[in-house]
Amino acid sequence: MDNSQRRLMRVISGETLTPPPIWLMRQAGRYLPEYRETRKEAGSFLDLCYSPEKAVEVTLQPIRRYAFDAAILFSDILVVPDALRRNVRFSEGRGPELDPIDAEGIARLKADNVIEHLSPVFETVKRLRKELPSETALLGFCGAPWTVATYMIAGHGTPDQAPARLFAYQNPGAFEALLSILADISADYLVAQIDAGADAVQIFDSWAGVLGEREFEDYAIKPVTRIIAAVKSRRPQARIIAFAKNAGYLLKDYRRKTGADVIGLDWSVPLSFAAELQKEGPVQGNLDPMRLVAGGHALEDGIDDILHHLGQGPLIFNLGHGIVPQTNPNHVTALVNRVRKAL
């Protein structure tokens, strides 16, 4: 099948489809018993990300269960700093950890061999495109420079990313250099995923919501614009979803400034505002993941509200962030059934 005929790609091109295509962030993950089994076999989390055989299996698991309209490559945004030799590791119950970087460390960063280091990811994409149903779109992704930089500077996740914000104020030149390095590597990384068979790619800026207006422009918009411009200059057919979580009203000009084809929306974005954003192009989102945990009327009402407000325009149905581990897989089945029977 020509990838332009896949339902997700048709919406990215501006069509309105009823029912809308659906996929879910973190649709492959700890809420699935089959994922937990594969994770045990893999050893470390990074071993799972870098094993094409196991990463393909994990990516396909939710497609087998739910027949989503898109599969998203199983990997992690921190494979990029791992490729930059920042000693990334994942500790059970503690999340990602890596060696914190300072201004001197940024000056010493070497981007050589990054794409070679990430070659198992591209092999996973190639295998997925062969194994996925022809009608299923394949998404690649990367972390946005701001979000990746927050982990590199603090060495771990923090509630409000104060270490990265403080570092940026105190070391503006070094911070700008780090964002530029990450943007250029990320563009190369996304192009390689597209060349391997990804139909579209998503840029995750999961920590955009902690930024003020000026900082959002400098740390979120400018680096993502740099990525998208670089990718599209080399692969004009590339289609890109940009997701700036908790950015709220700052999303008003985000599509126009960054050049993204689709804007991903978290659950805090009012549906009336989402409908305004949709007038300029496709949107993706934005069900609260807690409604998926709750199930029942809470889930049904949330789905119905989104379809009522956004179903008459180009919409990719998704969560406003990823599926959480305590989610009942049967609730995902109920979600898919309700979206596909609606309207």
Number of H helices, E strands in the chain: 18, 9
pLDDT score recorded for residue 176? 98
Asked if residue 153 lies in contact with residue 167, where contact means CB atoms within 8 angstroms, the answer is yes
pLDDT score recorded for residue 51? 97
| Burial degree of 273 (CB within 10 A; 0-12, 13-18, 19+) | middle
| Burial degree of 316 (CB within 10 A; 0-12, 13-18, 19+) | buried
pLDDT score recorded for residue 296? 98
Q: Which of 6, 7, 10, 39 is an active site residue?
A: 39
pLDDT 10s digits, 44-66:
999 999 999 999 999 999 999 99
Could you list the beta-strand ranges (E) of 133-197.
137-143
What one-character DSSP code corresponds to residue 20? Answer: P
Q: Which of 151, 189, 219, 254 is an active site residue?
A: 151
Give me 293's structure tokens: 């945990």
Q: For residue 214, indicate whether it is catalytic.
A: no
Q: Which of 47, 65, 76, 340 is an active site residue?
A: 76
Q: Which of 30, 89, 235, 338 is an active site residue?
A: 30
Distance in angstroms (rounded) separating the CA atoms of residues 167 and 110: 21
pLDDT score recorded for residue 94? 76
pLDDT 10s digits, 194-213:
999 999 999 999 999 999 99
* Average pLDDT of the residues of the chain: 96
Check pLDDT > 60 for residue 132.
yes
Percent share of the chain, pLDDT over 90: 94
User: Helix 145-154 vs helix 172-196: angle between axes, to the nearest 10 degrees?
Assistant: 120
What domains are there in the chain, each with its CATH number?
Answer: 3-341 (3.20.20.210)
Distance in angstroms (rounded) separating the CA atoms of residues 343 and 339: 8
Could you list the beta-strand ranges (E) of 98-162.
137-143
Which residue from 269, 229, 261 is spatially nearest to 245, judged by alpha carbons?
269
| Mean of pLDDT values over 25-41 | 96
| Mean of pLDDT values over 255-283 | 98
pLDDT score recorded for residue 43? 85
Q: What single-letter amino acid sits at 85?
A: R
| Mean of pLDDT values over 255-272 | 98
Q: For residue 30, indicate whether it is catalytic.
A: yes
Distance in angstroms (rounded) separating the CA atoms of residues 167 and 341: 49
Q: Which of 6, 26, 255, 291 is an active site residue?
A: 26
- 60 versus 110: which is more confidently predicted? 60
Check pLDDT > 70 for residue 342.
no
Give me 265's structure tokens: 């929306």
Asked if residue 225 lies in contact with residue 203, where contact means CB atoms within 8 angstroms, the answer is no
Task: Return the SS3 of 77.
Answer: coil
Distance in angstroms (rounded) separating the CA atoms of residues 314 and 12: 8
Q: For residue 76, indicate whether it is catalytic.
A: yes
Chain-centroid distance of CA 69 in Å reads 16
Q: For residue 85, indicate whether it is catalytic.
A: no
pLDDT score recorded for residue 225? 98
Which residue from 113, 288, 125, 114 is spatially nearest to 201, judged by alpha carbons?
125
pLDDT 10s digits, 92-108:
777 899 999 999 999 99
Check pLDDT > 80 for residue 72.
yes
pLDDT score recorded for residue 95? 83
For the chain, the 3-state helix, strand and coil shares in percent, each to the nearest 5, are 55, 10, 30
Structure confidence at residue 343 as a pLDDT band (50, 70, 90):
very low
Distance in angstroms (rounded) separating the CA atoms of residues 343 and 340: 8
Check pLDDT > 50 for residue 302.
yes
| Mean of pLDDT values over 244-262 | 98
Asked if residue 152 lies in contact with residue 163, where contact means CB atoms within 8 angstroms, the answer is no
Distance in angstroms (rounded) separating the CA atoms of residues 267 and 270: 8
Q: For residue 188, indicate whether it is catalytic.
A: no
